[in-house]
């Protein structure tokens, strides 16, 4: 979807949107989950995973599609709308831990005990390869793209996008909230480090340590990193809904926030694409937020 310079209330040049918010399960995560499960022989114990919510929905959906059991472990920050959908897909849902990494430990214990396949949300080559099809499609659909803005949680989408664009002239820019910036901290430290996570996008981007694959890819490609505020993310969500009728969760609006807030300023003649990576949002709750769009 091409957005013209005068189409939103925010001031910006024209750009392109890739609406993975309209993907099955409401995010790009369905691509990686299904790819991971189709590429192997699934055990009789089925699959399990840990997730802030979107990957859990994707695994639950793929397991239902393939007819195997699924167990999903999520932290207390998982929004009710996401938990409900996982149950509707037939997954056994366990809410445990305050953040993703605590849920991940529980999922790992479950996999060891039961023999279920642990489907990692971002640090597995099969998941990354599936996620990368988003960027591969984007550059095929818009061959003139010079830049793709990508939100980063654990970094599976970033690693996949970097692999997809390869040595082409299209570059990938990483965007994170100030309140959950595991990639930015790792780039500054020169190694993966743990960071505190909080804020409006914590359920989808709140990973305390960036994935190995993403950090290696970001380092190899010298990826530019942009931080955005929680207010900028919320405003991007509201602009997307009020001006375009696109429902975005906070993580799904993070890359857009970099552009409409001015945190990322394109150069002259730069063709920018924005990945809207998730749309599992309670619109009524979003519009009650006091930081409404003008």
Per-residue tokens: 156 = 């599976």
pLDDT 10s digits, 163-200: 999 978 999 999 999 999 999 999 999 999 999 999 99
Q: In angstroms, rounded to a whole number, what is the distance separating the alpha carbons of residues 40 and 59?
A: 14
- pLDDT at residue 292 tops 60: no
Query: For residue 37, what pLDDT is reported?
Result: 97
- pLDDT at residue 97 tops 80: yes
108-112 CB contacts, 8 Å cutoff, 24+ apart: 108/50, 110/48, 110/71, 110/73, 111/48
Residue 21 binned pLDDT confidence (cut-offs 50, 70, 90): very high
Q: CB of 138 within 8 A of CB of 273?
A: yes
pLDDT 10s digits, 195-242: 999 999 999 999 999 999 999 999 999 999 999 999 999 999 999 999
pLDDT 10s digits, 27-75: 999 999 999 999 999 999 999 999 999 999 999 999 999 999 999 999 9
Q: Provide the whole-model pTM.
A: 0.92
- pLDDT at residue 290 tops 60: no
What are the chain's domains? 2-27+125-287 (3.40.50.1100), 29-118 (3.40.50.1100)
Per-residue tokens: 93 = 């849902």
Q: In the β-sheet with 70-74, what is the strand arrangement from edge to edge?
A: 92-95, 70-74, 47-50, 117-118
Q: In angstroms, rounded to a whole number, what is the distance separating the alpha carbons of residues 156 and 154?
A: 6
Q: CB of 103 within 8 A of CB of 75?
A: yes
Q: CB of 173 within 8 A of CB of 197?
A: no
- pLDDT at residue 125 tops 90: yes
**Cβ contacts of 220 within 8 Å, gap of 6 or more:** 162
What torsion, rounded to 10 degrees, do the Cα atoms 91, 283, 275, 51 define? Answer: -30
């Amino acid at each position: 979807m091409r957005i013209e310079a005068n189409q939103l209330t925010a001031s910006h040049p024209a750009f392109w949107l890739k609406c993975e918010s309209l993907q099955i399960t409401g995010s790009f995560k369905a691509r990686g989950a299904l790819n991971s499960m189709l590429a192997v022989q699934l055990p009789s114990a089925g699959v399990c995973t840990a997730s802030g919510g979107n990957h859990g929905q994707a695994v639950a959906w793929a397991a239902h599609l393939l007819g195997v059991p699924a167990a999903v472990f999520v932290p207390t920050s998982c929004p009710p709308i996401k938990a409900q959908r996982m149950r509707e897909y037939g997954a056994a849902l366990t809410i445990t831990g305050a953040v993703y990494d605590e849920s991940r430990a529980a999922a790992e214990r479950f996999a060891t005990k039961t023999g279920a396949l642990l489907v990692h949300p971002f640090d597995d080559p099969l998941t990354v390869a599936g996620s990368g099809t988003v960027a591969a499609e984007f550059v095929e659909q818009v061959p003139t793209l010079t830049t793709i803005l990508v939100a980063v949680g654990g970094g599976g989408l970033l690693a996949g996008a970097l692999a997809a664009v390869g040595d082409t002239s299209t570059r990938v820019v990483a965007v994170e909230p100030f309140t959950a910036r595991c990639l930015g901290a790792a780039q500054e430290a020169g190694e993966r480090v743990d960071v505190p996570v909080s804020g409006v996008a914590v359920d989808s981007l709140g990973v305390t340590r960036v994935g190995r694959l993403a950090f290696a890819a970001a380092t190899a490609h010298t990826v530019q990193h942009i931080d955005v505020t929680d207010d900028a993310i919320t405003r991007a969500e509201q602009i997307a809904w009020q001006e375009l009728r696109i429902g975005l969760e906070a993580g799904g609006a993070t890359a857009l926030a970099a552009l409409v807030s001015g945190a990322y300023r394109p150069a002259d003649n730069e063709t920018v694409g924005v990945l809207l990576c998730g749309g599992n949002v309670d619109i009524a709750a979003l519009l009650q937020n006091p930081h409404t769009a003008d």
